[in-house]
Amino acid sequence: MQVSKTTQMQGWGITVLRVATGSLFLWAAAHTLFLDFIEDSSQLGSLLPIVPIIVVGKLVELGCAAALVVGLLTRWVSVLLALLMLADILAFHPPSGFFVEDKGFEYALLRLAASATLALAGPGKVALDNILAKQRGPV
């Protein structure tokens, strides 16, 4: 079966989107877990009831992001990350505006869109998902 040049390039494009999106989630989660909590430790007393929820959410984000970078369970982790971004937009950004400078949700919306795209399109050309699919054989 002959695959067109356009289809091959789309596969590489999705791979670039997957790795870049996973890297952004990875850096954002690590920054929040390891830097923001240290800087905001003086305010942890007032946030104590929600700290475990934030930490668990960021650990899930960190694990999903790492899986996304290598292309493991791409569609599933993309759905989880999209849901996290939707929750982020709804819970942490209102009543802020759209733009990041106003603590808005444009960055979260972009990560939501990228995650939704990967959930729909799959892992792209180079991913562990593809290697595992070849090992399993036809379904």
Cα dihedral 71/14/8/126 (nearest 10): -20
Give the largest CA-CA distance in the chain.
62
Domain coordinates in residue numbering, the chain? 11-130
Residue 22 clears pLDDT 60, i.e. is over it: yes
pLDDT of residue 105: 82
In this prediction, residue 41 carries a pLDDT of 52
pLDDT(48) > 70: no
pLDDT confidence tier of residue 99, bands split at 50, 70 and 90: confident
Whether pLDDT at 61 is above 80: yes
Q: How far is residue 136's CA from residue 17's CA, in Å, rounded to a whole number?
A: 26
pLDDT at 50: 66
Is the model's pLDDT at 47 over the cut of 70?
A: no
> Average pLDDT in the 46-73 region?
84
Residue type, 46: S
